[in-house]
Amino acid sequence: MKKAGNKSMNLKNLKRNLNINLDSWLFTSLILSFFLLAPIVTLFTSLATQNIDTFIHIAKTLLPEYIRNSLIITLFTGLFTMGIGVSTAWILTMYDFKFSKFFNVGLILPLAIPSYIAGYVYSGIFSYTGIISKTARNLFGYNLNLDIMNIQGVIFIFTFFLYPYVFIIARSFFLKQSLSMLESAKVLGKSDTQTFFLVVLPLARTAVVGGVTLVIMEVLSAFGLPSYFGVQTFSTGIFRTWLTLGDTDAAINLAIILMGLIFTIIFIERKSRGRKQYSFTNTKIRPINKKSLSTKHSIIAIIVCIVPILFGFIIPLMQLISWSFMTYKDVINYKFIEVIWNTFSIAMVGAVLATVMAVIISNTSRLKKGKISKTLSKLTTIGYSIPGAVIAIGVMTFFIFVDRKVLGQKVFYGTLFLMVFAYIIRYLAVAYNSVESGFDKVGMKFHEASKTLGYGKTKTFFKVDFPMIKGSIIGAVILTFLEIIKELPLTLILRPFNFETLSTYAKQYADDEMVQHSAIPSIVLILIGIIIILFFERINKKKEK
Amino acid sequence: MSYINSKKLFFKYKNSVEDVLKDVNFNANKGEITAIIGESGSGKSTLLRILAGLEVPQNGELTINDKVLIDEETFIPVEKRGIGMVFQDYALFPHLSVEKNILFGMNKMKKDLAQKRTCEVLDLVSMKEFIKRYPHELSGGQQQRIALARALAPKPGVILLDEPFSNLDANLQGKIRNELKTILKTSGETAVFVSHDKDDLEIADRVVILYMGEVIQTGTPMEIFENPKNEYVKQILGI
């Protein structure tokens, strides 16, 4: 009797809890998460264990080279970007010198140039007919044999075009540091240099490692640059196995190994933070008064800051502009307009859809206090750490399965839908972070106030939350748009036949030994990037003020 | 029978070892102002949030005006309770004018009636001339009055106030306290507010003292001042 009573009470409780917890936001969020995670899960379940002759052959012959090259590039790019990013951020935080305001913006600009475009430009500059060899020949009669298309060249380009990731994070960290901390070190008899190495750098460790991790992810995901320079890495290996050898299973196996490598890096980075505290929660922060530098030291500071801008932005942009004047008559035509339209429309559709999904998942995650929604939101944004080529293979494998086994006919394969779907998986995190920061800023009080006034979750979202986080939502669309237009490997694998975007168009010209012709599509991409970067830098400045 | 009646409310946050509320019985009479007093961490804000429907207790029952809001098979969500709430930092919607903030809760009312009611409540809080202003154009005290007007506008029956005086300057608190009492009494609503300040008791008809998630004494302010049950109550009252 007592048992039956308990059972009925549990059932009533369960019914009550379901009523409280289940709503359209959670339901939609669960469905979205299922579809966004399905391709990644499919990839894991597709790990081939039989008929793996090609994979065994690759593992014996090519895999060691993929691993060695990927590790060398990752290690040196990580070290060099750390050096440039941290030193420039420190100089600009601590010292006042001529042009420092310009350097604060200028040092971010290399982010507007995708590494594969930088690869086309520098290969042109260093080629036999490039400006350096030509000048040496014509002015000095000297035959220079410069070759940048090797692993050192890849490291050089990654370094000068990815260091802004470290610079931005380190600068933001240094700006928030406490003056009291630096003064304490000084009182204890430490010089500027000793303070930097003994106090500042250990404290900035988490931020710097975070920036370097972003660089490493970009390096491991990159396909265009290593492929163009003929350096075999994991990403190029996946392409080669998929497209040249035509072995899907082996490509999937390689993709899984790469994903494992990336997750290990993320895991080590998280674990390495340990229990140490690297923030200043216990110290009241006083802003730093910048020191003025002597003329000699100013010149050194200017050189340290100008070199990365010169190699990472000014030289490639000048070269691209010069090539544009040479080739615009051949490049600007109806086809080019179509390519611009393709790029803008597909990127806008992808960015808007990714943002809508980010809003749904992020809002569910903040409203539900349970672990399920939090875990789902983390899982659905995992795509950003997975290389585009791997996501493309996962999406393709999943939709081939849907077409063959569920629908019984070719519906999705080879359509633009696949591309947009893959963009969303890859860049949902970009939109999500922007939307989430908007929600964090407004907090829960307005939402709760609206509910006490009789509005449900959906009405509250449209009447209260949306108007208040509109800026973050627009930001999410813009940032995701920028990421999508630059994306190359994913687009290359999933684009329908004859469908070109600016990035594939530029690559096509470069592959066809017409590197000068790739300048105009590249410049369009870079200009969009510059506008967006300057726009956000301005907004951040306003926020800091 | 009390207007607000709760029995054995039990609440614990997920991932927390501490129980926030331990079988709390709480009553409030119609038209009265009830104060829930306790130091921080005593569970007073959580109790208020449970009354509002913003938190879900693991156990217990709650009825308001004989309507069951919480029991073992029922949980009426916040938006369907018809309870007005004034938040600690007022939570006035910054993108809406004073007028639109007040109209916000009257979306089911006819437009002309809602407009009329807006004028009534603004009159009640003496803020009629501020109708077109935005929240950021008001002082702290003015914002609080608008938040009160917004909560009163839909005629909720019960009004909850979370630390209503904590965001005000010390010299303004006394004035606003008296004004609030007059407004609440004029409106005839049943009001419950939480506070950690003994001075706020002067506007209450009834007082509930919470200590570590348990009700340790209830009564009129006079009864409690005259017969404090233990040292904690004495300390809270500054005796």
Name the minimum distance, in Å, from the CA of A355 to any CA of chain B.
22
The answer to which of A21-30, A455-464, B24-33, B204-213 has the lowest mean pLDDT is A21-30
Residue A178 clears pLDDT 70, i.e. is over it: no
Residues of B in contact with A373 (CB under 8 A): none
**More confident position, A356 or A376:** A356
CA distance B153 to chain A (A): 10
**H or E stretch including A265?**
helix A248-273
A15 to B104: CB separation less than 8 angstroms, yes or no? no
Residue range A382-407: mean pLDDT, rounded = 88
Inter-chain residue contact A464 with B77, CB threshold 8 Å: no
Q: Each residue of A6-17: pLDDT tens digit?
A: 666 677 777 777
Whether residue A281 has pLDDT greater than 70: no
Mean pLDDT of the residues in chain A: 86
Contact residues on chain A for B16, CB-CB shorter than 8 A: none
Strands B214-219 and B33-37: unpaired
Give pLDDT tens digits for B160-179: 999 888 877 777 778 788 88
* Chain centroid to CA A425: 13
Residue A49 CB partners (closer than 8 Å, separation 6+): none
DSSP B79: G
pLDDT reported for residue B170:
75
Please name the member of B75, B94, B105 whose beta carbon is closest to the beta carbon of A454. B105
Q: Which residue has the higher pLDDT, A44 or A284?
A: A44
Cβ–Cβ below 8 Å for A452 and B93: no
pLDDT at A49: 66
pLDDT at B132: 94
Interface test with B, best of A16, A20, A453 (most B CBs within 10 A): A453
pLDDT in tens, B73-104: 889 999 999 899 999 889 999 999 999 999 99
Instruction: Give the nearest chain B residue to A464 (CA atoms).
Output: B93
The identity of residue A51, as a single letter, is: N
Report, as an integer, the average pLDDT of B216-226: 92
> Lowest mean pLDDT: which of A144-153, A183-192, A467-476, B16-25?
A183-192
Buried b (16+ CB within 10 A) or exposed e, A257-267: bbbebbeebee
Distance set, CA A214 to CA A79, A167, A221, A263 (Å): 13, 12, 11, 13
Select the residue of A9, A370, A449 nearest B87 (Cβ to Cβ): A449
> If you count residue pairs, one on A and one on B, with CB atoms under 8 Å apart, how many are there?
72
Say yes or no to pLDDT of B191 above 60.
yes
Give the C-alpha separation, A450 to A457, whole Å: 9
| Listed residue (A489, A478, A492) closest to A529, CA to CA | A478
Is the confidence at residue A519, as pLDDT, over 80? yes
A249 or A482: which carries more pLDDT confidence? A482
- Residues from chain A that touch B80, judged by Cβ atoms under 8 A, are 454
Residue A318 has pLDDT above 90, yes or no: yes
Segment A180-184 shows an average pLDDT of 74
Q: What does DSSP say about strands B83-86 and A291-292: parallel, antiparallel, or unpaired?
A: unpaired
Q: What is the mean pLDDT of residues A472-484?
A: 90
State the pLDDT at residue A282. Answer: 44
Find the mean pLDDT for residues A255-280. Answer: 72
Which chain A residues have a beta carbon less than 8 Å from that of B92? Answer: 449
Residue A285 confidence (pLDDT) above 60: no
The C-alpha atoms of residue A73 and residue B175 are separated, in whole angstroms, by 70
Inter-chain touch A446–B105, beta carbons under 8 Å: no
Q: Which of A19, A369, A449 is the closest to B91 by Cβ? A: A449
B116 CA to centre of own chain: 25
pLDDT at B32 over 90: yes
CB neighbour list of residue A210: distance below 8 Å, 6 or more residues apart: A169, A269
Average pLDDT over residues A514-520: 89
ipTM: 0.90
User: Which residues in A lie closer than 8 A to residue B87 (C-beta atoms)?
Assistant: 445, 448-449
Probe site for chain A from B46, B49, B95 (most A CB atoms < 10 A): B95
- What is A42-93 written as a DSSP string? HHHHT---SS-HHHHHHHHHTHHHHHHHHHHHHHHHHHHHHHHHHHHHHHHH
B chain contacts of residue A463, beta-carbon cutoff 8 Å: 104
- The whole-number pLDDT of residue A273 equals 63
Q: For residue A73, what are the contacts with CB-CB under 8 A and spacing of at least 6?
A: A151, A154, A155, A158, A219, A226, A231, A233
- Is residue A287 pLDDT above 70, yes or no? no
Given this model, what pLDDT does residue B2 score? 84
Asked if pLDDT for residue B107 goes beyond 70, the answer is: yes
